[in-house]
Every structure is written in structure tokens, then in C-alpha cells.
Amino acid sequence: MPALVVPNRSKPLNIPILESRVPKPEDLVVLSKPLLEATIKIGNLLNDCSAKWALGGDIGEILNGVNVQPDHITILTNAEGCPEIGKKLAEFQVETSRLVERQIRRNAEIGPKPLPVKIRSYESRFNFDGQRLDVHGDLRIKVGEWEWGDPLDFEPEYVYVVGVKVPVVPLKLKTELYLGLGWMDRVRKINEATARRHHKIG
Amino acid sequence: MSTVIQEPSVDVVCLGVGFMSGVVATELALAGKKVVGITKGPYWDYVNDYSTTKYDEWGVGLGRKYDHPLPLQSTTIRNNSSQFALPVRRYTMPIQYHALGHGVGGAAQHYGGGMGRQGPWGYQMESLTASAYGSGFLSSINPQDDTHDWPLTYAQYEPYYVAWEEAHAICGNYNGSPTNSPSDMNYPWMSTNYRLPPHPLTPLGQLFQSTVQGMTAPNGQPYHPFPTVSALASQPYTNQYGVTVNPCVYEGYCGGLCDYACETGAKSNAAYRTIPAAIKSGNFTLVTNAYIFRLELSPSGDQVIAANYYDAHGNIHRQPGTVFFNGMWGYNMIRLMLLSGLGTPYIYNSGLGTGTGTVGRGLTNGYTPYRGTNVTGTVNIGGNSYPAGNGSGGGMAVYDLMDDNFIHSNISPPFIGGGLVSAGGYLGSGPGNITFAGGVSGPSSANPNGSMGSAFKATQQNKYLPTKQTVGATPFAPDLPTLMNYCDLDPHYTDAYGDPVSRLTYDWTPNTYNGAAYLVNQIKTILDQMGATNVTVGSTVAPYSAHNDWWGHHLRGGLRIGTDPNAGTPTAWAALSGYNQLYLTPTTGVNYFAAGEITNTTGNNATAGTHVAGPQSYRAAEGIKLYLQHVASQGINYLAS
């Protein structure tokens, strides 16, 4: 059957036009493929890990819908978790566990002047096809000249990454940490994610 | 003087941006190809468009603010070729026409989320039926039967199923092991389980499960209950494209009157599963509020070279490309092909009872027959049975009354296939739960409280917190393709731009009714065992033959992919014969018939056809990649001058 004639002139209609809010790329929460693949691999390898562990840092947040762009993977665990994780991920290990104390790049913003933030943990490092994994055991935080805090403890929440169930540090704990450090931009990002998730406030 | 706006040529043009185009656009954009997606509606932002505005029952239920605008384009409907087809002029029930969708995500913005794979039998129904019951069995059910096998087997489709389920966060059987391999025989043909665990069971789902576990199915084997399959994420999820997904929050306000709009993005559709990755890639351009009206063919007529569309202001755009993927709603796709002179139109000869051509052939239905045979009863749950939550999940189902899982040879009247029987789904899931029967309407003699206002709300209070629930089913066996049901261009009615609308010629077929007569008694037995009281079986009615303008939302088929070049597209790549650039995947069943639409009988699984179409989109994406590779290696320039 021949096609109907193709018109070549515009024809305005009197039909309401719905507003279309096409998101910008920066508005979308999408984890990069290399980190995604590394996360799946780690989740599978630590599937039967008996020690408490969870994905922390930006990777833990983006998997909960927070609009951040992680450049590596972070695992938080306790002192017992470090050797067990090291054993399970041995073939990917590039730095063995040792007690490390260092100042992080961003200061606390809770007073009239910025305060340096230090962390201390049993730290080991791994490499998954070029993707960095940092493991922190018994992570403590120190702000300015204050006392060192207790080792970070938490009850993990779980997310599913292409079907692999992985623990993540709860957003509620991250919010408390950021509030304590005065990082309100990070608090706002978590708030945006929890608002999108509606009742499921982290 | 022409006012056509020329757009730059791209590698792939996706027509419509629903489930299927979402996959193709994303797969190709991530492969580095330039892709344009064109859709007639807006991008729906679930935070701003749904989260704060869907409680506007008047605007949603009566104003139909989320729905396809009928003044732009409607369709006409009739029961047989001797009738005059009448147009759908208004929305007359809550879910009517939702399935057509409008904008990014398409029909999936307004569905309940019921899903489930089609098993091996559904792909080879014709040959397996002939093998089991003789070659004349299907024609003994309906002399005008037009059923054919799919071009590929289930085993060939399964990898695409897995990819589609990973992308869309499908929930169901999940055993939590690293391999997530099937842990039982509920899905004996699945090599992997679904990627997310099922939703929590409702009390009715638990009762159904415990009841059927102690019963024997017609095949002499125990029933095998399994969690209903749902496209609403049960847990926080990240898919293979890195797109993060919010879980369902079980708020219980996403049923019919809310247009099934999901305000957390938990319900799967392209806008929140695949398209974000395409946009993020930088290779994808999304064109919204754009109404495609013609595909332009090459002078030789064997290639598609451009898509023509009106923008929101009525300006005409011409979008050239190398490959065109049609992911429109099923009969909109057929209409565009007929308007464009693409393919061979199906012509039905009512005098001879024969048909020729392919485009429009074999319209089928995946929805409950109107006034069909039914069974109802009252079940005492013994407590709060409020099924808060979404439109799918929370229930249990059995596969044992489906496909050829029981012997059909001695059943009279004859039929083939069966139904996926389930119970206990959440709000919005259909029979067995709370529904907005009657839709949005004022008081009438039949419904003195109407369905809004304080009197209506008073009646609903007891419905939401019952200790007893009325459960029921209107079962039916699969609606097989017949020569009499088809889609063509209406000779009388046009859209807002003056082009003919689609005309649907459809009536339910013997297999649906014959199957209902058998299935209803099987379900009655289950209800009796569940302790239901007042169990009543309705009588079978003859095929319904009157204008019924709400059919449209689950009519499907109309374009076969198959192995018979005289009746379908002969390639297993889902490309239309002679038009290698046009990759077809109707949004509700790429198959010519509705074997995948073996709709369940005590829950809502009418959208499972989408689950069956989904793998086709991955198949098409794979084919398009190969095609583009071929074009590059041959140095062929198919682009419009």
C-alpha cells in the first residue's frame, strides 16, 4: 500500500502541552561501569564473610541513590574484619593491613574557622581491574584537637547490585557524621535521595 | 513553502520511548552510537510530577492529566468486520487507555507491575500442541485459528530475559546464593532466579500458599506455589547500567484512581531504569512532546530513511538515521507502518474467512473477557488483611494450571493453555483485593454512593480493614490469534492532524471461553479448600458483541515475527522483511499472538506480555549492533541525502 502524502507545513493544535523536565546528565544517579563491576565482584567474594562489613564512602551512598560520583570503593569493618577480608580478597591485595593515621582533605566546618579532620584505622588496599578498594578497620575520627572518637560502629543496611546483596553503611549514620563535621552540602545530598525515596528516611 | 525542520542524522532513531526503546537506546548509546528517542508525551519526573500531585483524584481520575490526550489521537473499535467501528471519545474507567501511555516510559508509567516469563511451551505452542493432540487440535477449537510458533525457542531467548530482568529490577524467586540458581521446581525451565527477592506476602497470599501446598493439581502432582513476579523493586537496587532504584514503600496509594503512578520510581519503566544511563552516556538525545506521523522510505522503497514528526508547536521535523527501531505501543506501531506504506497490510476476507498480508494481522487480548465466567467466595482472613502497597507482588501463584501442564485431550469444550492462578496481591492488583469497581462516577441507581465523596469513603473504610475478603476470578485461557481479529486504518475517523486512526476489529475467541469453563471449576476447588464461604460460579456467556471502548488497554499482537514469510516477518532478528533498518518490538507482545498473555485468574498479571516482549528489545539491540557493524564494514551509506 503506498504511503499517505507527507505534509510539509506546520499545523499548530489547540491541545495543552505538558511540561517536560528532561533531566540533565548531572541530575542522574548512575554508577560507572568499572566500579559497578568491581562492586559485584567484591559482593560475591565477601558473600560469606563472618565479620561485620559494609560499603562506605561515596560508593555506599550512590548505591542508596545519593547523587555522588565515587572514584573508588571503600569498605568499613572492624578490627577482626581486616584479616578476614584480606584473606578472601588476597589475590587483589596491593597493600596489607596496617594502622594508618592521616588527615583527610576536607576540614570540619562547624565553627568560625575550619578544623582539620584526622582518621585512624587499620587500612589495606586492593585493586580490581584498575578500581581501587580501601578497607578500613575500626575507623576513628578526630576533629581539631578534640579526643579521638570511638571506632565507628553500625548495623549495615542492604542493597542489591544486579542481584548481589551487599551491605552498606546506613545513610542515617552518614547524615549524623556529616552534621557533626558541618558538611551540610553532603547532608543535603542525602536528604534529596531520601526525599526521592519518600518514607524510607535513612 | 516547506516548513520542515531538518535534524542531523544519527545512527539509531527510536520511535517511542517506552520499555523497548529504553533498552535499545541505552544499549546502543553505551556502545558509542548516536541515538535519538522521540516520544509524543513529556518526561515524567516522579518526584515533581507524581509525588506531590497524584493525590489530586479529580485531576487524575477525571481530568486524566497523566494520560494520553484523546483529542490528539484516538482509535476506533468494533467486534467484527461487518460493524461500523466507533471511536473512543472519552475515558470511562480508571485504567482504560492507561496502557497506551504518554511520554517517556510509555504505558509502563501506568501499569500494575505484574510480570513473569513465558515458558518454553508458549514459544512453540503450535508444534507442541500438534505433537501432543494432533495437527487438527487448534482448528477444532477455532476453525480460523492462526497460531504459529515463535522464530526462537525459550532457550534462545533466556539470556535476553536475564538481561531484561537485571535492567528492570524484577522480583520473584530469589534464593540469595551467589549464583541465585533455582532452588525448587516452580520454574523448572529457568536457569537463574530473579534478581530481587519477592515482596512480603499478604495474609491472603499466605492462605493461598498454605492451601494449595496440600492439594493435588489436575496433573496428579502437588501444586507448586511461588511468589508472584513483580516489576516493583522490593529492595534498593542498582542495575547493570549503574542506575540506582528506590524500593517500594508500600504506601497503598498507587491503585486505579492514582493512575498507578509510582512516586518513588520503584515501579519499573524506561524512564527510571534504562534512559538515565543513555542520557548519562552523552550519546542520546531525547525529543519529547513530538508526534511521529510518517516514516519516509527511500526512492526504491526498500529502506527507511527518516522519521517525520510534529513538535509541540505543530512544526514538522525530519529525523534521518541509519537504523529505525519502533518501540511504540503495539497498534500505534501498526498504524505508523500502514500510514507509511511499510509492509503488506493485512486484508481479511469475511466471505471466505481468509486473510492476506501481515501488518495488522492477529490482534489478540491479554485481559479478562467482559462478562466472562467467574467464581467468587468470601475468605475469612482472621485479622487485618489490608493489602497496603503496590499493584503487584505480595501474592502467591501456581503454574500448574497453565500452558500444557495438564492433559487437555479429554476436556470439553476443547481449549489449549490455561491460566496463572494467583491470590493475595497488593492494592490495585485486581480481583481478590480492593478495587475501585465502577470507577470514578457520581451516584447512580446501580451505585448509589457513587465512587467519590463522603458516602463512598464511608463504604471504603470497611473495605480497607476487613477481616473477611471477597475473592474471585474471571479466568480464561490464552487468546489465540484468529483471522477475524485485526488492526487496520479507519476509513472515517482521523487524528488531530488529519491522518486515519487505527481501527481495531476484535472479539474474544473460543479458546478464552472454553478454557474459562474448565479453569473456573479448578479455582472453585481451591477456594473451597481455602475455607471460602458463599462460593458461586457464574455461567458462561457467549462472546461479547457490542461496542466496548475500554478494550484497548490490553489488546496486543497484530504483527508477527515468525518463520512463515507469507504471514510474518521471516527473520529471527525481528526486522521486517525487506526493511532491514526497522527493528520491531511491539510494547505488549512482539509475538503475533498472546501466548505470553496467559493471564492469571485471581490476580493481575495482564502486563506479563511486556515481560515477554522485553527480551525482544535486547535481541533487537544485538541485531542493530550487528547491522551497524555491517554498514561500517561495507562502507554503505544509507543516510538520506
CA distance B142 to B511: 7
**Percent of the residues in chain B that have a pLDDT greater than 90, as a whole number:** 34
Q: What is the pLDDT of residue B449?
A: 55
Q: What residues of chain B, 99 to 118, have a C-beta less than 8 Å from chain A? A: 103-104
> Average pLDDT, whole number, for chain B?
79
Q: Which helix (DSSP H) or strand (DSSP E) does residue B127 occupy?
A: helix B125-133
Q: What is the pLDDT of residues B171-202, one digit of tens each?
A: 988 766 655 666 554 566 788 888 999 998 88
Which ipTM score applies to this complex?
0.95
Kindly indicate the confidence band of residue B10, based on its pLDDT and cuts at 50, 70 and 90.
very high
Mutate to test the interface with B, among A5, A9, A10, A62 (most CBs of B within 10 A): A10
On whether any CB of chain A is under 8 Å from the CB of B289, the answer is yes
Q: Could you give the angle at which helices B19-30 and B608-634 cross, rounded to 10 degrees?
A: 30
- What tens digit of pLDDT does each residue of B106-126 get? 888 888 788 888 888 888 888
B296 to chain A: which residues are within 8 Å by CB?
6
Which residue of A11, A65, A157 is in closest CB contact with B310? A11
**C-beta separation of B100 from B73 below 8 A:** no
Is the whole-model pTM more than 0.80? yes
Domains for chain A: give ranges and CATH numbers. 31-196 (3.30.460.40)
pLDDT > 70: percent of chain B: 75
Which stretches of B2-51 are assigned E, i.e. beta strand? 5-6, 10-15, 35-38
What is the 3-state secondary structure of B350-394?
A: CCCCEEECCECECEEECCCCCCCCCEEEEEECCCCCCCCCCCCCC
Residue of A nearest to B30 (CA): A33
Task: Tell me the average pLDDT across B403-415.
Answer: 92
Query: Which residues are paired to B354 by β-bridges?
Result: B349
Residue B447 pLDDT class (50, 70, 90 cuts): low
Residue in A with minimal Cα distance to B194: A163
pLDDT per residue as tens digits for the range A7-56:
777 888 877 777 888 999 999 999 999 999 999 999 999 999 999 999 99
Residue B96: is its pLDDT beyond 60? no
Spans of all domains in chain B: 5-440+452-634
Which cell is B218 given? 489436575
User: According to the model, what pLDDT value does residue A130 have?
Assistant: 97
- CA dist B618 and B339 (Å) reads 27
Helix or strand or coil: residue B89? coil
What pLDDT was estimated at residue B419? Answer: 83
Residue B480's pLDDT is what?
Answer: 84
pLDDT at B118: 81
More confident residue, A78 or B109: A78
Q: Tell me the pairing of strands B291-297 and A164-168.
A: unpaired
CB-CB: which of A3, A10, A21 is closest to B3? A10
| Strands B10-15 vs B316-326: parallel, antiparallel or unpaired | parallel
> Mind telling me how many Å the CA of A144 is from chain B's nearest CA?
36
Q: Does A7 touch chain B (CB under 8 A)?
A: yes
Confidence of residue B450 (pLDDT cuts 50, 70, 90): low
Once rounded to an integer, what is the mean pLDDT over residues B209-232? 91
Mean pLDDT over B263-289 rounds to 95
- The alpha carbon of residue B334 is apart from the nearest alpha carbon of chain A, in Å, by 13
Average pLDDT over residues B336-353: 88
Q: Using an 8 Å Cβ cutoff, are B236 and A160 in contact?
A: yes
Give the pLDDT confidence of B362-394 residue by residue, as tens digits.
Answer: 888 777 776 678 888 888 876 555 555 555 788
**B530, B207 in Cβ contact below 8 A?**
yes
A195 interfaces chain B, CB cutoff of 8 Å: yes
Q: What is the pLDDT of residues A137-176, one digit of tens each?
A: 999 999 999 999 999 999 999 999 998 999 999 999 999 9
Beta bridge partners of B347: B356
What's the confidence (pLDDT) of residue A131?
98
Q: Give the per-residue pLDDT at B541.
A: 61
> In angstroms, what separates the C-alpha of B289 from chain A's closest C-alpha?
7
Contacts of A47 in chain B (CB under 8 A): 178
What is the Cα–Cα distance from B174 to B247, expressed in whole angstroms? 16
- Which listed CATH number (3.50.50.60, 3.10.270.10, 1.25.40.10, 3.40.50.1820) goes with B5-440+452-634? 3.50.50.60
What are the start-end ranges of the H helices in B214-329?
A: 275-281
Say which range, B184-193, B508-517, B587-596, has the weakest mean pLDDT. B587-596
Residue B241 has pLDDT above 90, yes or no: yes
Residue B328 has pLDDT above 60, yes or no: yes
DSSP annotation string for B393-446: -S-EEESTTSTTSS--TT-SS-------EEE---TTS-TTS---TT-S----SS
Quickly count: other Cβ atoms within 10 Å of residue A182's Cβ. 17
Tell me the pLDDT tens digit for each residue of B38-84. Answer: 999 999 988 888 877 777 767 777 777 888 888 899 989 898 999 99
In this complex, do B242 and A31 lie within 8 Å of one another by their Cβ atoms? yes
